[in-house]
Structure 1
Amino acid sequence: MNERDTAPNGTDAADLGLRFLTVAYRTRSAVDQHMAAAGLSLSRTKLLQLLARDGAMHQAELAAALGQAPRSVTQTVEALERLRLVTRTADPADRRRKAVSLTEKGHEALTVAEQAGRQALRYVFDAFGPEQLAELDTLLDLMRLPDEASR
């Protein structure tokens, strides 16, 4: 272990990393619960955000963009379709492929969910002052993440 592996207070970098993961998980869970109470889970919101940003997409494209298994995306799309937040239409060139589109009701639900998520995140991060937020922003930019090739 070298100097860079330990903080001045004696905290090991790996231990700090595990603490970071715990805080990140708890924050994500709290945001997801707050959003779900407003009508949409975080994962459903991400799917709707993708459609709002990029327009209609095939389910396979959605799965790739979200980094999820196609079956998981199919189940999510089916649930969103039952809620009338998305529609699926057959591709004229290949009727087995379905294009997923956001409905007006989907846009409205997305707006409510995004507001709920932002409210939850503001609650968490309002504990920091402006200087601390700027420092956290800088620290997050400095974080190195393993790339796909090193896994």
Structure 2
Amino acid sequence: MAVRESLLVRYARLYVRLHRVLDRRMAAQGASLARTKMLMFIDKHAPTRAADIAECFGVAPRTVTQAIDTMERDGLVRRVPDPHDRRAKRLDITESGRRVLHQTEPLRLELVDLTFGTLTEEEAAQFDRILAKLEDAVAEIPVA
């Protein structure tokens, strides 16, 4: 049991450290990790609902709404009509938002390479299989 607990602690520490390094390096370039993560999600899933973003990142819908309001004001996203519910809006990324992602992508890729580039192809494939197995196990755990 001690080995499993150690794995959890080390995994959490790695995640927090990676997050902190990327956030600080992006901030040094005038970017925001939180904003970039939301823009990446919107770009990948557009048009998407703010509720989907809140669920993905585990934050309150109000937090997402405030961030979206700011990104819309800055011209990075736009609200578009929901084709299935005329009262609702979905989010889409603008060309300006894509440019912001394009500017931050080299920094993100550098960190990925500096971290996961230390693994051999075989180690990376094995790690990928392990992560998939853990994701499947967590998906089976009842939330409440």
Task: State the TM-score, normalizing by the size of structure 2.
Answer: 0.75
Superposed, which structure 2 residues align to 1:5-20 within 5 Å?
Answer: 5=1, 12-20=3-11
Match of 2:54 among 51, 55, 63: 63
**Letter paired with 1:15:** S
Question: Across the two proteins, how many residue pairs are aligned to each other?
Answer: 140
> Per residue, is there more helix in 1 or in 2?
2
Does the residue aligned with 1:84 lie in a helix, a strand or coil? coil
Does the residue aligned with 1:60 lie in a helix, a strand or coil? helix
Closer/same/farther in 2, CA of residues 140 and 93 from structure 1, 3 Å limit: closer
Tell me the distance in 2 between the aligned counterparts of 1:22 and 1:72. Answer: 25
Q: Using the TM superposition, give the Cα deviation of residue 74 of structure 1 relative to its aligned residue in structure 2, in angstroms.
A: 0.8
Q: Provide the residue aligned with 1:105 in structure 2.
A: 96
Tell me the distance in 2 between the aligned counterparts of 1:52 and 1:76. Answer: 15
Tell me the distance in 2 between the aligned counterparts of 1:150 and 1:39. Answer: 37
Q: Provide the residue aligned with 1:85 in structure 2.
A: 76
Tell me the distance in 2 between the aligned counterparts of 1:118 and 1:55. Answer: 22
Across the aligned residues of Structure 1 and Structure 2, the Cα RMSD in angstroms comes to 2.8
Closer/same/farther in 2, CA of residues 90 and 13 from structure 1, 3 Å limit: closer
| Structure 1 outlier segments of 4+, above 6 Å | none
What is the identity percentage for the equivalent residue pairs of Structure 1 and Structure 2? 29
Max radius of gyration: which structure?
1
Match of 1:54 among 18, 24, 45: 45
**Letter paired with 1:128:** L
**Higher RCO (C-alpha under 8 Å, 6+ residues apart):** 1
Aligned pair 1:122/2:113, yes or no? Answer: yes
Q: Provide the residue aligned with 2:65 in structure 1.
A: 74
Spell out, residue by residue over 1:13-39, the C-alpha distance to the aligned partner (whole angstroms, 9 max, x if none).
Answer: 212221221112111222233344445
Spell out, residue by residue over 1:50-108, the C-alpha distance to the aligned partner (whole angstroms, 9 max, x if none).
Answer: 322232334334434544311010111122123211123577933xx443321110011
**Letter paired with 1:149:** P
